Structure 1
Amino acid sequence: MLAGALARRAGVLRREDGPTLMRVVLTLTLPPLIFTILARADLDRALLLVPVAGLAVHVALLLIVGGAARAWGLERPRAGALVLATSLGNTGFFGLPLIAAAGGGFSPAAAAIYHTLCTSPLTWTSSVALAGAYGAPAERPRPRAREVARAVLVPPTWALLAGLAVNLAGVELPAAAERPLELLGAATLPLVMIYAGLMLRARGLHRVWGELASVTVVRLGLAAALGYAAAAALGLDGDVLRTVVIMSAMPTAMMALVIGSREGLPADVLAGAVVVTTLLATLTLPALRALM
């Protein structure tokens, strides 16, 4: 992250290069990472419950934060920004590569399934609908089913399906094919961290510190507790339970800013949530891992 920030300051990279960097991750490095994880995974029935746990966390956050925003009497756009920033975690570009690089004690397969079968569909359904309900003018057209399907059926989703197919078919990948995929997948975490440093901007955070404090407590703290409760209630344990907890406690997703800004929600709150939670997650996630 520091390298990305220094590269921007030195003029080596610009903020305008960020979308290109994310397209590289989305199409060239994250799909191989997901494919190799699922192709090698020891598939267990418990993995089927991982998206259910993620959905339970999402719904609980919507109810808690939405109810609190109404009790506080916040105006709808600002309330929508809080709901979106707390309910949508960065499980794909941040959580999955972190879990994959974390070593023992976690389930990369559970992380891949959590993102592709829970967070990704919710991003383009629930989150878009919520942002529109809180901020968009009534006359603005709603996304069509075809557009939602195109947003969900991205390369990481196809990689998950291909990895599951290879695994279930019992196909052993030759080293000549597996090693290049490993190398591409390993580039995901460094590229995502560079992107975070490139895009983060702390200017103006003092104006929305109250909202950011609330988002931080909920997104990095309460969400982890909800993830544990949901996983335990579903009978998950061991590596899968720990993975659900960590994935639940990811910082606010950059897509929350993209979707919310498009629908007229306060960009200062959403951008600040991305910055603050991403920086503080470098402290809270290792602490959470040590606690478990």
Structure 2
Amino acid sequence: MFVQLLPLILVACLGHGLKQAGVLGPSDARAIGTLLTHLALPAVILKALATASITPELVYLPLSALVVVLGLTLIGLLTVRCLGWERARAGALVTTFPTFEGGAVGYPLMLLTFGEVGLSRIVLFDLAQAIYLLTVVYCLSAWFGQTGVTARAVALKLGQTPFFWAIVLGLLMNGLGLTHPAVLGLLDIVGGSFLLLVLLVVGMEFEVQIAGLGGYGLVALAKLSCGLGLGWLAAIAFGLAGVERAAVLAGAGLPPSLLTLFFTAENGLDSRFASSFISVAIPLYLAVMAPLLAGIAGAGPG
């Protein structure tokens, strides 16, 4: 598995190196991010869901995600209450802790380990989390930032998110059997840039405050451990096994969503905390989950 992951790590390092050398700047990161979120990621999601074999039992994947995010939200709120953090940092933790970066981290890992079947499963898991992120987490972030938030603002945030509509359209295409070779060929071409773009963005966004590295490591480890624990309980409760259980575990342990960087900045929260937390959580997640998923894949069904 490490040999398979090495090229991905090197591309992310390349993105970080280009940023440090001044070859790529903030405007380039925004342009790459736009291409990723508006073209490559939606194409990957559409192809995976349109061609997947979807049965009624798979409803337990988004239900499992809901169990995990609700649990992580409660843990995050209790933590900031016990620690007595100032509002900006407390809001940053509550905004980041219950969220998952599926598109940049979970999707590539499941695709690499289980192929398009694995990708389709983690996309279904991510459906509930995506809605929760763009509604509940967005409102919590605004509340901690003491920013007025309305139902219209939440609806606009949801409606302006391409990957949410890609999930809806992918499920619709699957249900109607709209899998024309020309459409799939187009999605393959557009989605073919997904890994390159996402790894460049991850590398360019990597930023850690060295002075607080140990603290961020503990927070990242707590999120990973709590997520995996909740994911395991949900998978057992819903009777999930094989690639479905792997999707739940891969999703539940994910580092925080990159979208939370925009939420914290928009609401005047501690964005440096969010960026450092994410930067530490991504390599920790890969170090733990890559061998775990490889072991599940090697064990086969059951």
Assess same fold via TM > 0.5: yes
* Aligned residues of 2:134 and 2:154 also touching (Cα < 8 A): yes
The reply on whether 1:188 has 2:194 as its aligned counterpart is yes
Match of residue 289 from structure 1:
293
* Aligned residues of 1:220 and 1:284 also touching (Cα < 8 A): no
The CA deviation at 1:2 is 0.8
1:123-143 deviations in Å (ceiling 9; x for gaps): 221112222232x23xx321x
The CA deviation at 1:104 is 4.9
Match of residue 121 from structure 1:
131
Letter in 1 for 2:27: E
1:2-47 deviations in Å (ceiling 9; x for gaps): 1101222333311331121111011111111111111111111122
CA distance in 2, matches of 1:40, 1:251: 28
Which deviates more from structure 2 when the two are superposed, residues 12-21 or residues 244-253?
A: 12-21
Q: Does the C-alpha gap of structure 1 residues 289 and 225 become closer, same or farther in structure 2, counting only changes over 3 Å?
A: same
Letter in 2 for 1:220: L
CA distance in 2, matches of 1:66, 1:172: 44
* Aligned residues of 2:40 and 2:190 also touching (Cα < 8 A): yes
CA distance in 2, matches of 1:109, 1:273: 27
CA distance in 2, matches of 1:62, 1:131: 12
CA distance in 1, matches of 2:231, 2:58: 15
The reply on whether 1:205 has 2:213 as its aligned counterpart is no
Percent identity reads: 27
Match of residue 259 from structure 2:
255
Number of residue pairs the alignment of both structures matches: 284
CA distance in 2, matches of 1:104, 1:32: 16
> Mapping of 1:124-135 within 5 angstroms?
124-134=134-144
1:220-268 deviations in Å (ceiling 9; x for gaps): 2221121111122122222111101101111122222221232232222
> Mapping of 1:236-275 within 5 angstroms?
236-275=240-279
* Aligned residues of 1:106 and 1:240 also touching (Cα < 8 A): no
> Mapping of 1:143-162 within 5 angstroms?
144-153=150-159, 154-162=161-169
Letter in 2 for 1:173: H
RMSD across aligned C-alpha pairs, in angstroms?
Answer: 2.1
* Aligned residues of 1:128 and 1:259 also touching (Cα < 8 A): yes
Match of residue 227 from structure 2:
223
Structure 1 runs (4+) greater than 6 angstroms displaced: none
CA distance in 1, matches of 2:152, 2:142: 18
The CA deviation at 1:191 is 0.8
The reply on whether 1:14 has 2:25 as its aligned counterpart is yes
The CA deviation at 1:69 is 2.6
The CA deviation at 1:76 is 3.3
Match of residue 36 from structure 1:
47
The reply on whether 1:173 has 2:180 as its aligned counterpart is yes
CA distance in 2, matches of 1:237, 1:16: 43
Letter in 2 for 1:23: T
* Aligned residues of 1:46 and 1:236 also touching (Cα < 8 A): no
Letter in 2 for 1:167: N
1:153-197 deviations in Å (ceiling 9; x for gaps): 3322332233222222234422x3322311322321221111111
* Aligned residues of 1:105 and 1:239 also touching (Cα < 8 A): no
Q: Does the C-alpha gap of structure 1 residues 105 and 40 become closer, same or farther in structure 2, counting only changes over 3 Å?
A: closer
Match of residue 3 from structure 1:
14
Letter in 2 for 1:72: L
CA distance in 2, matches of 1:225, 1:183: 38
Which deviates more from structure 2 when the two are superposed, residues 250-259 or residues 71-80?
A: 71-80
CA distance in 1, matches of 2:166, 2:92: 32
Gaps of 5+ in 2: 1-11, 297-302
CA distance in 2, matches of 1:225, 1:190: 31
CA distance in 2, matches of 1:183, 1:285: 29
CA distance in 2, matches of 1:31, 1:103: 20
Gaps of 5+ in 1: none
Q: Return the TM-score normalized by structure 2.
A: 0.86
Q: Does the C-alpha gap of structure 1 residues 263 and 172 become closer, same or farther in structure 2, counting only changes over 3 Å?
A: closer
CA distance in 2, matches of 1:247, 1:240: 11
Match of 1:76 among 84, 87, 94: 87
Letter in 2 for 1:123: L
SS at structure 1 position matched to 2:207:
coil
Q: Does the C-alpha gap of structure 1 residues 208 and 279 become closer, same or farther in structure 2, counting only changes over 3 Å?
A: closer
* Aligned residues of 2:52 and 2:117 also touching (Cα < 8 A): no
CA distance in 2, matches of 1:193, 1:231: 29
The reply on whether 1:232 has 2:255 as its aligned counterpart is no
